[in-house]
């Protein structure tokens, strides 16, 4: 039928599969869920290679290229592997709340996966909210406990969101008997996402704190350099040295932005996902305990605002450096224009002097050439007097010829000058 309706877009199947890329793993109460998120970077090659090798050792068919979720069974335990943007999640669901928990073989294969643990979550799922409350009050310190009613009383969640002895954050979930395993799985997945995305978002906080110190130092250097631009305060400042200093500041600012821009952007996206998951819980308070949403907002939101402030400050610093560069370039250009104008005036003065000197030389040349020509004429007529008696005296002839010689020499030099200046 599709062929009959026309050509199919090459991305259609991939886009259609996106809605089914992360199916919920059903959870039936009672159960214990272990989730480990290992930060391995944005390049999925290492994780894909490890998972493919693991499947070969276990005799399983490996996942398809680009597949973002994969389930397999080890020692009777189902393990879900899931690829996030920069980490991989390993989730194990163990039926019941008794026993030894997750087998060592499963823990070992998770521990051998690429990356480092950024989030470890353990959720005990109890049938009934009464049992969950009793377990939570027996396990957690009531002074640090947060609790919420979920979905109009369909479930309850209890935790202190502190790291346990094995580095895990433990939560206790109580569900009503009428909830299906898929619904329970959705609730469990929301809290796994909340903890994972919360930790990924907070990766930007140390960067913002370190970057704030560097930004303060760069801000101070830029302010000192900009003071040289103010009339009356920057006399004697070398523009070339100022430009070199400004270039060094610009390079450091761009390095700072490059190191943190992606992380700050990712933190904003992760924080938005945390807020979405919290909103889906439709929480109401339990007794005098803080709700999970209130607890998260009161602690996570200030950290995210610190990151937003750091990102905005870096952007502002980058813009100020750009403006300072424009001001300094304009100042250098104005100075160069003034130098060029001074040079042109000097050249014009020299050209005028050369012209006057040339005209003087031309005048002298007319006199000199005329002098020699008159001398030749004088010698000619003196010799002619001896050959032809009765001719006018040579001095008289020279006197008569002199204006003609001067005029002829002058006109000849003018003509030669015009020919030299004529465009070729």
- Higher pLDDT among residues 409 and 184, named by residue: 184
**pLDDT over 50 (residue 1):** no
3-state secondary structure of 68: coil
Whole-number pLDDT of residue 390: 61
Domain edges within the chain: 15-199, 204-342, 351-418
**pLDDT winner (highest mean) among 8-12, 191-195, 296-300:** 191-195
Which single residue is written with the structure tokens 């502190």? 162
**pLDDT over 90 (residue 302):** yes
Q: What is the dihedral of CA 264, 266, 271, 277, to 10 degrees?
A: 180
Whole-number pLDDT of residue 237: 59
How far, in Å, CA of 208 to CA of 314, rounded?
10
How far, in Å, CA of 183 to CA of 318, rounded?
49
Residue 23 near residue 29 (C-beta atoms within 8 A) = no
Least confident of 105-114, 266-275, 340-349: 340-349
| 334 band by pLDDT with thresholds 50, 70 and 90 | confident
Residue 31 near residue 188 (C-beta atoms within 8 A) = no
- Higher pLDDT among residues 370 and 28, named by residue: 28
3-state secondary structure of 364: helix
Helix or strand holding residue 171 (H, E) = strand 169-175
- Higher pLDDT among residues 3 and 325, named by residue: 325
- Residue 24, φ and ψ in degrees, nearest 5: -70, 140
Fill in the DSSP letter of residue 4. Answer: G
* DSSP β-bridge partners for residue 71: 80
List the one residue out of 123, 285, 265, 277 whose CA is nearest residue 194.
277
| 82 band by pLDDT with thresholds 50, 70 and 90 | very high
DSSP letters spanning 274-333 = HHHHHHHH--EE-TTPBPHHHHHHHHHHHHHHHHHHHHHHHHHHHHHHHHHHHHHHHHHH
Q: How far is residue 254 from each of residues 12, 214, 223, 250, 264, measured CA to CA in Å?
A: 39, 12, 17, 6, 15
> Percentages helix, strand, coil for the chain, rounded to the nearest 5?
60, 15, 25
How far, in Å, CA of 107 to CA of 101, rounded?
10
How far, in Å, CA of 316 to CA of 318, rounded?
5
Pairing mode of beta strands 169-175, 116-127: parallel
Least confident of 73-82, 151-160, 235-244, 251-260: 235-244
Q: What is the pLDDT of residues 125-140, one digit of tens each?
A: 999 989 999 999 988 8
Residue 184 near residue 28 (C-beta atoms within 8 A) = yes
**pLDDT over 90 (residue 19):** no
3-state secondary structure of 230: coil
Mean pLDDT of all residues in the chain?
84
């Amino acid at each position: 039928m599709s062929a009959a309706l026309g050509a199919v877009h090459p991305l259609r199947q991939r886009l259609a599969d996106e809605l089914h890329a992360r199916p919920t793993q059903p959870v039936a109460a009672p159960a214990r869920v272990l989730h480990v998120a290992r930060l391995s970077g944005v390049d999925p090659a290492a994780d894909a290679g490890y998972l493919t090798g693991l499947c070969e050792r276990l005799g399983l068919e490996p996942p398809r290229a680009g597949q973002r979720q994969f389930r397999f069974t080890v020692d009777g335990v189902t393990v879900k592997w899931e690829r996030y943007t920069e980490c991989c999640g390993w989730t194990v669901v163990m039926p019941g709340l008794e026993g030894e928990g997750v087998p060592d073989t499963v823990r070992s294969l998770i521990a051998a996966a690429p990356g480092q643990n950024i989030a470890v979550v353990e959720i005990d799922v109890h049938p009934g909210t009464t049992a969950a409350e009793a377990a939570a009050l027996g396990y957690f310190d009531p002074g640090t406990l947060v609790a919420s009613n979920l979905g109009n009383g369909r479930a309850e969640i209890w935790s202190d969101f502190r790291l346990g002895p094995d580095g895990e954050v433990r939560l206790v979930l109580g569900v009503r008997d009428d909830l299906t395993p898929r619904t329970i799985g959705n609730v469990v997945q929301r809290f796994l996402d909340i903890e994972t995305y919360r930790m990924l978002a907070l990766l930007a906080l140390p960067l913002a704190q370190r970057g704030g110190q560097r930004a303060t130092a760069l801000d101070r250097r830029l302010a000192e350099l900009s003071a040289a631009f103010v009339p009356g305060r920057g006399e004697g400042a070398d523009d070339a040295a100022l430009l070199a200093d400004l270039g060094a500041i610009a390079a450091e600012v761009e390095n700072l932005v490059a190191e943190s821009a992606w992380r700050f952007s990712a933190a904003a996206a992760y924080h938005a996902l945390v807020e979405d998951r919290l909103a889906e819980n439709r929480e109401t308070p339990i007794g005098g305990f803080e709700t999970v949403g209130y607890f998260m907002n009161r602690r996570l939101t200030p950290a995210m605002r610190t990151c937003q402030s750091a990102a905005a400050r870096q952007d502002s610093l980058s813009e100020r450096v750009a403006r300072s560069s424009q001001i300094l370039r304009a100042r250098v250009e104005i100075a160069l224009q003034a130098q060029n104008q001074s040079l042109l005036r000097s050249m014009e003065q020299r050209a005028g002097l050369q012209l006057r000197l040339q005209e003087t030389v031309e005048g002298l040349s007319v006199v000199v050439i005329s002098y020699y020509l008159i001398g030749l004429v004088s010698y000619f007529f003196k010799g002619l007097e001896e050959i032809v008696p009765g001719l006018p005296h040579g001095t008289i002839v020279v006197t008569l010829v002199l204006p003609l010689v001067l005029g002829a020499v002058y006109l000849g030099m003018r003509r030669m000058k015009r020919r030299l200046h004529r465009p070729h």
